[in-house]
Amino acid sequence: MAALSHALTVERVSKHYGPVRAVDDVSLTIGRGAFVTLLGPSGSGKTTLLMAIAGFVAPTSGRILLDEMPITPLPPERRNFGMVFQGYALFPHMTVAENVMFPLRVRKVARPEAERRVAKALALVQLGHLADRLPKQLSGGQQQRVALARALVFEPSLLLLDEPLSALDKKLRAELQVELKDLHRRVGLTFIYVTHDQEEALSMSDSIAILRDGRLVQEGAPGALYERPATRFVADFLGKSNFLEGHVEAVRVDGFAYRVGPLRFVQSGMAEGLASGSAVLVALRPEKVAVLGVPPEDAGINTVSGTIAAWSYFGAAFALLIDTPIGRMQATVPAWRCPVEPAEGRPVQLAWSAEASVRVVAD
Amino acid sequence: MRAAAPAQPFAAALPWWLLILPALILMLAFYAYPLGEVLWISVTEPEPGLGNYERLFTSPAVQRVWMTTLRICVITTVITLLAGYAVAYVIVSSPPGRQRWMFLLVLLPLWISVLVRAFAWVTLLRRQGLINEALLGAGLIDEPLRLIWNEFGIAVGMIHYMIPYAVLPLYAAMRDIDPRLVPAARGLGASRFEAFRHVFLPLTRPGIIAATVLVFIFSLGFYVTPAILGGGRTLMVAEYIKLQILDLIRWGLGTMMASTLLAAILLLLAVMARIVDLRRVFGQG
């Protein structure tokens, strides 16, 4: 099932519903064979953008190109994109095999050839033995695989997936994430995946595009987005973050020093456009905060003292909430090497290096 | 009622069928007994035997009435189904607020007496009626069209009456269809028509069957509308029965036709029950 993969370009696409801008001037390039995730909270326009790519929603302005060819005026059935809908949208009156056969039937593929391809597609998702069942006789995970086989059987130019795992329980979802990623590698198609689940996006994608209120906020590889979020929204939505709001005290060649309330911290790099006195926002991941019983000796490290306000145990880690003079902070510590026994009211020292945090834009 | 509350233990000891006994007696006395009587008369008048039923095969007049009835019923059912399907589809695709208004408009005719509606059609369709006058005035026709006192008039009146009965089961079937299925079909390469033909239409099949059974059976025994819009010239079964019994006092022939009508309807339901699960079709599955 090796297919020629295609690139997709979204060029300044907007979709307005009256005064509501569901998608607002989004430009995006999706490379050949990439697994790209459109990530955002509900109402961010990610599904509308996917529907515009699929052809169900006509953009108010802008163009969509498949490789070099504009596809904006084409109806969905002429775009030759595979699509897996939220809730799968399997045809309840057709068997698994008939469902998978459907795209070939409407393409008038000859019967023997169609049957051969259906068998191949079902084998690809390991469902050959269930070909004669009806969708309602299958489990959620199996239905999801049927939807995948149906979307892949006609060798589409792209595969679009609209929250395909959202109806499944957590464990099954994790399994299917691995399967989907594996499938992506085997078929070599370009996948465009929509989800509101940031963990799903991080674990599966080659690239993530984060949307908010119809606008593209940031785009990049999962690691780059996680380590260097550009805005407060991204830092908060993709994983968790502590936010330190302060004013710049001094700008240096290798970074800057800033003051939050009574405390002074240092940040390495990211000093572009800053001057002494300007407001600055710094995001700090909870897992990058060290929780110590005594203050560290290295003076180049940022520290703040506080008391544990609440804690939870997750097996692998402790999540702590710590009250400090600059507000409540979160810290995540691997449980097996937590240096202090978590207890409410226990005084602790929080410490992080100048490279651990990132400066973000307040939005 | 006053005695029932303190007598709870006594009520519990009562056989359950005693509770429906009054209703049962009422049904037996006023429904089953006259029905049995009808069957009885059909094989005893004017002389004992199956002579009346023989007419089904020998009398051209009886056969003509049956053929007319079946023809009008088939035409009515087909057109009602097509129109009802379109109406139900439009309602289902409308936003919920508007759906309520559309339902009101569909159901409104049900609250108007069938007699009033039949006469309303007379005023529209007769020679000097609104339609003929308008067409004449516009110069589209030279003499009035014969829109009434024939099968056309009967069909118009019956279709108008039956549409709500087609819309309701069709609407119920369409409402249960996942709204993503048709877009899914189109995303997989089906044109609008193919998506309708292979996905939407098959999924409304229970509704289509329910509407067909309902409309066809109702049409078979229809009396008021054919009597008024047929003007006595086009006879359907129900009117023919009335004619035989009340005007010609031929009870044997009339009751034979009534029994045959009943048998035909039961036969139809039996055949339908073989093909589909009727309980599911009528929404109790």
Distance from CA of B83 to the nearest CA of A (A): 25
**Residue A13 to chain B, least CA–CA distance (Å):** 20
* pLDDT surpassing 60 at residue B10: no
> Distance from B192 to chain A by nearest Cα, in Å?
9
In this structure, are A334 and A355 located in the same domain? Answer: yes
Same domain, A227 and A246: no
Q: B152: distance to nearest CA of chain A, Å?
A: 38
ipTM value: 0.78
**Structure confidence at residue A320 as a pLDDT band (50, 70, 90):** very high
The CATH number covering residue A276 comes to 2.40.50.100
Separation of alpha carbons A295 and A272, rounded Å: 31
Can you tell me the distance from the alpha carbon of B3 to that of B92, in angstroms, rounded to the nearest whole number? 50
Residues A218 and A245 reside in one and the same domain: no
User: Out of B184, B191, B194, whose CB is closest to A89?
Assistant: B184
Cα B157 to Cα A270: distance, rounded to the nearest angstrom: 81
In this predicted structure, the answer to whether residue A334 has a pLDDT above a threshold of 70 is yes
Q: Which H helix or E strand runs over B76?
A: helix B60-92
Arithmetic mean of pLDDT over chain B = 87
What is A260-298 written as a DSSP string? ETTEEEEEES--TT--TT-EEEEEE-GGG-EEESS--S-
A81 chain-B contacts, CB cut-off 8 A: 187
Q: Would you call A106 and B190 a contact, using CB atoms and an 8 Å cutoff?
A: yes
Report chain A residues whose CB lies below 8 A from the CB of B280: none
> Do A269 and A342 reside in the same domain of the chain?
yes
The last residue of one of the domains, among A194, A217, A234, is: A234
Given a cut of 80, is residue B132 above it in pLDDT? yes
Give the pLDDT score at B111: 87
* Residue A307 and residue A182 share a domain: no
Mean pLDDT of all residues in A269-273: 82
Residue B240 Cα, gap to closest chain A Cα (Å)? 44
The predicted model gives B138-147 an average pLDDT of: 86
Q: What is the arithmetic mean of pLDDT over A121-129?
A: 89
Per-residue pLDDT at B193 exceeds 70: yes
Query: Is the domain covering B38-112+144-283 a CATH 1.10.3720.10 domain?
Result: yes
Asked if B203's CB is within 8 angstroms of A93's CB, the reply is yes
pLDDT at A9: 93
* Average of per-residue pLDDT across A6-20: 92
Cβ-Cβ contacts under 8 Å for A232 (sequence gap 6 or more):
A243, A281, A283, A360, A361, A362, A363
pLDDT above 90 covers a percentage of chain A that reads 67
Show Cβ contacts of residue A109 under 8 Å, excluding neighbours closer than 6 positions. A117
For residue A163, is it within any domain? yes
A151 inside 8 A of chain B by CB? yes
How do residues A62-80 score in pLDDT, each as one tens digit? 999 998 899 999 999 899 9
What is the average pLDDT across A235-259?
Answer: 91
Question: Is the link from the previous residue into A59 a cis peptide, with omega within 30 of 0?
Answer: no
Helices and strands, number each (H, E), in chain B = 17, 0
Number of domains making up chain A: 2
Mutate one of A50, A78, A85 to test the B interface: name it (highest B CB count within 10 A): A85
- For B238-273, the DSSP string reads HHHHHIIIIIS--HHHHHHHHHHHHHHHHHHHHHHH
pLDDT one-digit tens code per residue, B42-95:
888 888 888 888 888 898 989 999 999 999 999 999 999 999 999 999 999 899
Tens digit of pLDDT for each residue in A158-188?
Answer: 999 999 888 788 888 888 898 889 989 988 8
pLDDT above 70: residue B13: no
A176 and A35 in a single domain? The answer is yes
Q: What is the DSSP letter of B198?
A: I
Confirm whether A346 is domain-assigned: yes
Residue range of the domain that includes A158 = 8-234
Residue A193, pLDDT above cutoff 90: yes
Query: Among A186, A208, A234, where does a domain finish?
Result: A234
Beta strands A242-252 and A279-284 are antiparallel
Q: State whether A225 and A246 are in the same domain.
A: no
- Cβ contact, residue pair B188, A106, below 8 Å: yes
Residue A87 has pLDDT above 60, yes or no: yes
- Residues A70, A201 share a domain: yes
Does some domain include residue A3? no
Question: How do beta strands A347-352 and A302-313 pair?
Answer: antiparallel
**Which of B187, B198, B202 is closest, CB to CB, to A54?**
B187
Instruction: Chain B: give the shortest CA distance to residue A78, in Å.
Output: 7
Q: Residue range A111-122: average pLDDT? A: 93
Same domain membership, residue A259 and residue A146:
no
Tell me: pLDDT of B3 over 70: no
pLDDT at residue number A225? 93
Mean pLDDT of A232-240: 92
CATH number (domain holding residue A61)? 3.40.50.300
Q: Which residues of B touch A56 (CB under 8 A)?
A: 183, 186-187
Judge if A103 and A210 occupy the same domain: yes
Yes or no, beta carbons of B188 and A103 under 8 Å apart: yes
Q: Do A176 and A216 lie in a common domain? A: yes
Q: Please, what is the average pLDDT of chain A?
A: 90
The pLDDT of residue B9 is 55
Mutation target vs B (from A53, A74, A77; most B CBs, 10 A cutoff): A77
Show me where the domains of chain B are located.
38-112+144-283
Interface mutation target, options A48, A50, A91, chain B, most CBs of B under 10 Å: A91
Question: Is a pLDDT exceeding 90 seen at residue A133?
Answer: yes
Q: Please tell me whether residues A159 and A287 are part of one structural domain.
A: no
Instruction: Determine, for residues B184 and A154 on separate chains, whether the beta-carbon distance falls below 8 Å.
Output: no
- Tell which phi-psi region holds residue A213, choosing left (phi > 0), alpha (psi between -120 and 50) or beta: left
